[in-house]
């Protein structure tokens, strides 16, 4: 069996409301574009980033540091994309509907 890549990082929740509906939707949409397994861990709770329900159960407030782990053939690209959402504060371009 061929070994898969694993990438681990830490990300900070920056939206004032924590991980509320819009950031959760953005995370799930982005995660679904990758074949890798993507998980976030906070305060002993682990969430599949492809599941909005799992992410809601994290209950991560503003300022929380989450552990991001990706594993699979596109793990590095998945980690980059998810990290970027956190780094940009889940901002969306002016052309998207709010």
Instruction: Give the pLDDT confidence of 34-57 residue by residue, as tens digits.
Output: 999 999 999 999 999 999 999 999
Residue 97 pLDDT > 50: no
Residues of the chain with pLDDT > 90, as a percent, come to: 81
The residue with greater pLDDT, 5 or 11, is: 11
Identify whether 63 is part of a domain: yes
The widest CA-to-CA distance across the chain, in whole angstroms, is 45
DSSP state of 57: H
Identify whether 92 is part of a domain: no
CATH number at residue 81: 3.30.1340.10
Residue 92 pLDDT > 90: no
Identify whether 5 is part of a domain: no
Burial 2-11 (b: 16+ CB within 10 A, else e): eeeeebeeeb
What is the pLDDT, as a whole number, of residue 91? 85
Identify whether 7 is part of a domain: no
Range(s) of the domain holding residue 82: 18-87
Identify whether 32 is part of a domain: yes
Length of the chain: 98
Residue 85 pLDDT > 60: yes
Identify whether 1 is part of a domain: no
pLDDT band at 93 (very low <50, low <70, confident <90, very high): low
């Amino acid at each position: 069996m061929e070994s898969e890549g694993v990438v681990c990082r830490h990300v900070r929740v920056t939206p004032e409301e924590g991980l509320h509906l819009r950031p959760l939707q953005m995370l799930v949409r982005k995660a679904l574009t990758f074949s890798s397994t993507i998980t976030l861990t906070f305060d002993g709770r682990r969430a599949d980033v492809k599941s909005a329900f799992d992410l809601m159960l994290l209950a991560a407030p503003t300022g929380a540091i989450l552990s991001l782990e990706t594993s699979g053939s596109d793990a590095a690209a998945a980690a980059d994309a998810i990290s970027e959402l956190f780094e940009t504060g889940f901002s969306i371009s002016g052309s998207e509907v709010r």
